[in-house]
Structure 1
Amino acid sequence: MVATVLSKEEMSRMVRGCVPDADDAIVDYIVSTLGDDEDAITELVRPLLEDAGGEPEAIDALCSRLETLFASHAKEQNKNASQSTGSDGLARLLEKPIHMLSQDAVSATGKIGARSVDLESISGRKVLSQVDTQKLEKAEAKIAAKMAKRAARVEYAASKLLDKKEEVDFMAVNPILDYTSTKGKSKDIKLENFDISFAGKRILTNANLTLAFGRRYGLVGRNGIGKSTLLRTLSRRELNVPTHISILHVEQEMVGNDVPAIQAVLSADQWREHLLAEEKRLNALSVEMEKGQSEDDTRSNENFDKDREKVLADLKDVYAKLEAIESDKAESRAASILAGLGFTPDKHQNPTRSFSGGWRMRLALARALFNKPDLLLLDEPTNMLDIPAVIWLENYLKSWPNTLLVVSHDREFLDEVATDILHQHSEKLDYYKGNFTQFDTTKEERRKNQLREYENQVQYRAHLQAFIDRWRYNANRAAQAQMKIKILEKLPELEPPEIENSIFFKFPDPEKLGPPILQMQDCTFGYTPEKPILQHIYLDMQMDSRIAVVGPNGAGKTTMLKLLTGKLEPQKGLVHRHGRLRFALFSQHHVDQLDVNVSSVEFMAKNWPGKSEEEYRRQLASFGITGMVGLQQISTLSGGQKSRVAFACLGLQNPHFLILDEPTNHLDMDSIDALTSALTQFKGGVVIVSHDERFIKAVCNELWVCEGGSLKKFQGEGIKEYKEYVLSKGL
């Protein structure tokens, strides 16, 4: 191996000489790879060096040198091995028996030792295998360990690179692309027979993906099925997407820095930024040329005119491209997008680091919408939005001119936005025309048809088998029986329709309390007396209350929940809570409240001691965490599974009131249905903050609007009418 010929320092210098600007993590990874695998030169090292910006000639020279070193080292090892064997060793090898297959066996199979060959039937005698099974197993284990080690190094190197968030622009998943030059090219995407795996788990097998340009696709499926992995694979171009198609994937909040919010949005259009920089450079060059000509009269006028004409021609080309992309309207368009997502004009010049994670997630979404990529990938875009922003995004995406692929659990959002639905399940993708409601209906009809077809096939097979069993050995019917046998053998293999396991949630019913339960009279709260957040609040809540609190972000909804639970006390007014009243709060950032370094059972035992492991596991099973999942570290669970653990912890508190802040975030649709059913059957009170229209409509019978420093009961007919009210106000 190269590691025995060169030291790590020498190898690092060689790589640095080839690609001076390579990241430290890439250099370390290449050096460690070269240490134990010669195949890595072609399979891994060369592509990494090319991606890092190395010159092709330098990369060829480095790879040739490494291959030469491998070859010389291997030759030296073979020489030493032959010397150690000697004449005695050669004699022992020659004395071993050699068993050869007949020529017929070789020609019938195409290779010696193929598994399909019956040696006894070919030769008429039993052939003794000369394969040492123990050595074969050791060799296979060694190969498997080698592949696992390589995969682990790839993952480690990738994680090291991604940890350097300040150096990574998550929006720049493509190099700068002149999208004015891609007009007229087909931007449909058609990918056939591809596989995707993640962490050793198969996500898709022999899948086909077709995205017609201009269509809006909703990607649905259960938690943990791999929807986000599919989006990530597309965005990283690990699938063969044409290079002239630009892709943007919004899944993480943007990194905060001192750049103003509106400039962060404008800079997302890298082609426009490139043109503006080029315009500035050419203008400066033109001024410098004029100045140089006036100071140096000896310079050839002919050369000067030629150079100046080229600069002016390039500048004219830049101006034409800026005009083609309507660069002069960019700032107003960026401001409009920011306003739609809830950024007031006074926040447009605030540095991005001054915003919280949820608002920076909105900035990432604003950057993608401004950039207008050919393929926009959105992963749960409504999670961080309030109802006014969701309404704005729905209307904005309905006129989206390019291709959209969005993962969402919000059925109303998908009904408004999607023109097609992709259903991911059982390592495959199914296509449905229409929005989510049409998909739900068609899926059920398709399932019934598959079940009917399956039952008919089972009956037909049973009929054939009964005829065969009855007449197989009857001389008069033997021919018919043989024909039935052939028909039965040619029938396709039966696959029963997929039956998805139902998910059930259950909260324990609390003991009854006599009124009054919870009352607030003329309450006012603010973190400083000069700036009250909520004023003049009046409410009376009972054990059967089902209340939804809605309103724009920043209006004080979360503050209101803290006032209800007693985590905050009002500056003015009176709050009365029943002496035995217990609350259980599900926070929007509930993951921060979980200890991800322990298992779910250990976390519950630590915070709510006094029960057996079986009781904790039974409680987790009430929320879909079954089997060994409850004994896994919480850090290994998906977002939806972590939410279920948080719900199970709420149940342990045996609350009279459930206070839920955005409970549907990260849950799949089946889990949302299970949560809806559990809350409907719960005998205590429920207060939720949510933007999910269907969830609010199914659970709540009262709607309270939090805006303008007040909390008032909505006088309309529910969430649908509230959305119309928001649209009428132009929020």
Structure 2
Amino acid sequence: MIQFNQVTLARGSKTILRDAQATLFPKEKVGLVGLNGAGKSSLLSALLGEISLDQGSIDIPKNWNLAWIDQEVQDVHLSVIEFAMQGDRPLLAVREALDKAQATGNSDALAALYEQMENLDGYAAESRVASILAGLGFKTGDLKRKVGEFSGGWKMRMNLAKVLGSRADLILLDEPTNHLDIDAVLWLEQWIKNVDSTVIVVSHDRDFLDEVCTHTLHLHHEKLSKYTGGYSAFELAFAERAEQVAQQNRKSAEEIQKLQRFVDRFKAKATKAKQAQSRVKRIEKIKLIETVSMDQHVHLEFLDPHKSPDPLVVLNRTDCGYQIDKPILSGVGLEIRPGDRIGLLGANGNGKTTLIRTLVGQLNLLQGERVEGKGLVCGYFAQDQIESLDMSSTPLQHMLRLDPKATEQQLRGFLARFQFTDDKVNQTVEGFSGGEKSRLALALLAYTKPNLLLLDEPTNHLDIATRQALANGLLEFEGALVVVSHDRHLLESTVDTYWRVANGAVMPFDGDLNDYAQVLKQDNTATNQNQGANTSSNRDRQQQRQADHNQLKKAKSQLRKLETKLPNLTEQLAKADEASLTLDYSSQSGQQKAIEVTQNRQRIADELADLEEQLLELMLEIEDLEAQLGLQ
């Protein structure tokens, strides 16, 4: 288990933990939650030993292996499968030792190492890691491609695959869903639930935390508190605790007020002075409990949209993509009407972003037509939307560029809807957090009063409170909505219908996200069955290799034994030949002796010929086995 013993941790002048106590047991799946800036990432670094504690200790079993997601990707020259398998350090060590033993022909070492491979199920390791990569969205053809060929988001998936394939006892995951689509998130949830490791995960996806976590660790006001269950269970328990604290504080405040009235009234009277002094002491002993509060409540408000045409936009027999001979989507026919609230489902790379950019009109059609209604106003939030912000400008300057005729007071009032108040409106964007940049981008979008909102992963930089605020704001938004998001809570809160983007087509999906998860599960089962057949075949090959090695060892042992007999038989035959040269056939006894000598020589010759034939067969067998094992 992991034990936090009176842990005090500070970063600079900021104290993150003070005298923290907590215990995590093996195989628990723990969500680490807290306000942005509370120190969650610092706590993970302390678990890894990357930063020192100011006081106390974090005790982790010495024999435990730890794995965590690297923020950079090295070894870009490796193939994807080679890179991902580097996480399995025990297997890598055995494989390296096997290479050395094979190079030196050390049969005894090879036998022991093959046994270790069997114990690690190493013969199926490549298939196991390939299955993880498939779950994270990599196609079979991607596995042999070089790491350097992929974008940053896909490289982070490789780092995640490396961790998941590590066999680690403790796995630390910091925002593992940030670069995943909903298909991969659903797969990751099942993997975490089934793995035997202890897992500590930081995430702003409340549905993800609810699904995978057996416990929640809350970092709050320099304290560490453990709750049973996922985020929703924690939120409820925390709210109940906050209410209990508030009730106790109200009772205490009422008692203090009552005592203080007595003191104020009678402290000057000699007959009551002693009683007044007693009540003063009682007041001093009554302590209000530290206020417990959840994350600050955030509001994100959208303006009423422009009047909507009907339909808003129509695609007729449209091919969408970037190369006319390689469309990503073909024959797309759909329309978006006022009031539509649509969630797009499908794995990354299947064309969700391509479809949204086509709907917006940013992407030229390869074939077909796009018809937009008169008065259509699109509000498009791209995955990289925050990169379009001017980092040297302030929120107020951004707003003035949108509407030069507006007064500063009007623009300040609007920015306040998105939590930009006071001096924040005059601070440059370059100093903002990712969440603040996203809120500003959403504010700029909302100000245009779109009647069609198209949001492509709008929650990537938002914390749980702001995600909830976005969901609430979208619920009140009266225009049409198309959303791509791996955050199921946002989808379930804001959309009414789903379209599935897969296999080059866009089709309505008749069901909710639970139904979609079942469809993916069925697809994965079929894929796993195929991979299982490949795994079985691979295991059979590896087991045959071990059997060949054992047979090689046995053949060499037999060869050595037979070779010890060869000199003796050769010497016996030479002596029998010498005896044959001195035979005397002149007498009956001489003839009898000659028969015995001749028969003895023939017996020795036959035995020697048989031995040489066995030696030849063994040497040929050894040669074949060494060729099969690559030892020649």
CA shift for structure 1 position 315 = 6.3
Using a 3 Å threshold, how does the CA distance of structure 1 residues 403 and 471 change in structure 2: closer, same or farther?
A: same
Counterparts of 2:39 and 2:432, CA distance in 1: 13
1:723 aligns with 2:542: no
Counterparts of 2:202 and 2:414, CA distance in 1: 30
Code of the aligned partner of 1:226: G
Code of the aligned partner of 1:522: R
8 Å CA contact 1:194–1:208 kept in 2: the answer is no
- Among residues 165, 181, 189, which one is paired with 1:386 in the alignment? 181
- Among residues 666, 670, 682, which one is paired with 2:461 in the alignment? 666
Code of the aligned partner of 2:27: G
Counterparts of 2:386 and 2:74, CA distance in 1: 20
Counterparts of 1:517 and 1:423, CA distance in 2: 45
Using a 3 Å threshold, how does the CA distance of structure 1 residues 431 and 269 change in structure 2: closer, same or farther?
A: same
CA shift for structure 1 position 188 = 2.1
- Among residues 79, 82, 93, which one is paired with 1:260 in the alignment? 79
1:235 aligns with 2:48: yes
Counterparts of 1:381 and 1:526, CA distance in 2: 29
Residue 217 of structure 2 aligns to a residue in which SS? strand
CA shift for structure 1 position 234 = 2.8
CA shift for structure 1 position 471 = 3.6
* Cross-structure match for 2:316: 521
Code of the aligned partner of 2:3: I
The farther-off stretch of 480-489 and 609-618 is 609-618
8 Å CA contact 1:522–1:574 kept in 2: the answer is yes
Alignment of 1:66-85 (within 5 A): none
May I ask how many residue pairs the two structures share in their alignment? 519
CA shift for structure 1 position 212 = 2.3
Code of the aligned partner of 1:262: I
Alignment of 1:591-630 (within 5 A): 591-605=386-400, 609-630=404-425
Counterparts of 2:355 and 2:396, CA distance in 1: 32
1:417 aligns with 2:417: no
* Cross-structure match for 1:682: 477
Code of the aligned partner of 1:190: F
Counterparts of 1:626 and 1:427, CA distance in 2: 27
Counterparts of 1:437 and 1:604, CA distance in 2: 37
* Cross-structure match for 2:39: 226
Counterparts of 1:236 and 1:321, CA distance in 2: 30
CA shift for structure 1 position 510 = 2.2
* Cross-structure match for 1:197: 11
- Structure 2: runs of 5 or more not aligned: 526-632
Counterparts of 2:419 and 2:49, CA distance in 1: 33
Per chain length, whose mean CA-contact separation is higher, i.e. which structure has more relative contact order (CA < 8 Å, sep 6+)? 2
- Among residues 572, 576, 580, which one is paired with 2:375 in the alignment? 580
* Cross-structure match for 1:447: 242
- Structure 1: runs of 5 or more not aligned: 1-186, 288-310
Using a 3 Å threshold, how does the CA distance of structure 1 residues 614 and 203 change in structure 2: closer, same or farther?
A: farther
What are the superposed Cα offsets for residues 335-390 of structure 1, whole Å, 9 maximum, x if unpaired? 11111112122211111111222211111111001113222111221222222211
Residue 529 of structure 1 aligns to a residue in which SS? coil
1:340 aligns with 2:135: yes
1:565 aligns with 2:365: no
Query: Equivalent pairs: percent with the same residue?
Result: 35
What are the superposed Cα offsets for residues 285-332 of structure 1, whole Å, 9 maximum, x if unpaired? x45xxxxxxxxxxxxxxxxxxxxxxx8777666555544433333212
Using a 3 Å threshold, how does the CA distance of structure 1 residues 544 and 437 change in structure 2: closer, same or farther?
A: same
Residue 396 of structure 1 aligns to a residue in which SS? helix
Counterparts of 2:72 and 2:452, CA distance in 1: 33
Counterparts of 1:357 and 1:569, CA distance in 2: 26
CA shift for structure 1 position 248 = 2.4
Larger gyration radius, structure 1 or structure 2: 2
8 Å CA contact 1:550–1:691 kept in 2: the answer is no
TM superposition score normalised by structure 2:
0.76
- Among residues 269, 272, 277, which one is paired with 2:96 in the alignment? 277
Counterparts of 1:354 and 1:500, CA distance in 2: 41
CA shift for structure 1 position 559 = 0.3
Using a 3 Å threshold, how does the CA distance of structure 1 residues 598 and 556 change in structure 2: closer, same or farther?
A: same
* Cross-structure match for 1:161: none
CA shift for structure 1 position 546 = 1.0
Counterparts of 1:313 and 1:473, CA distance in 2: 98
8 Å CA contact 2:252–2:286 kept in 1: the answer is no
Counterparts of 2:456 and 2:338, CA distance in 1: 19
Using a 3 Å threshold, how does the CA distance of structure 1 residues 454 and 247 change in structure 2: closer, same or farther?
A: same
Counterparts of 2:39 and 2:443, CA distance in 1: 24
Residue 446 of structure 1 aligns to a residue in which SS? helix
Using a 3 Å threshold, how does the CA distance of structure 1 residues 211 and 600 change in structure 2: closer, same or farther?
A: farther
Counterparts of 2:196 and 2:24, CA distance in 1: 14
Counterparts of 2:81 and 2:467, CA distance in 1: 36
TM superposition score normalised by structure 1:
0.66
* Cross-structure match for 1:249: 68
Counterparts of 1:628 and 1:235, CA distance in 2: 38
CA shift for structure 1 position 564 = 0.4
What are the superposed Cα offsets for residues 163-184 of structure 1, whole Å, 9 maximum, x if unpaired? xxxxxxxxxxxxxxxxxxxxxx
Counterparts of 1:256 and 1:585, CA distance in 2: 37
* Cross-structure match for 2:166: 371
Counterparts of 2:468 and 2:358, CA distance in 1: 29
Using a 3 Å threshold, how does the CA distance of structure 1 residues 564 and 479 change in structure 2: closer, same or farther?
A: same
CA shift for structure 1 position 466 = 2.4
Code of the aligned partner of 2:39: G
* Cross-structure match for 2:345: 550
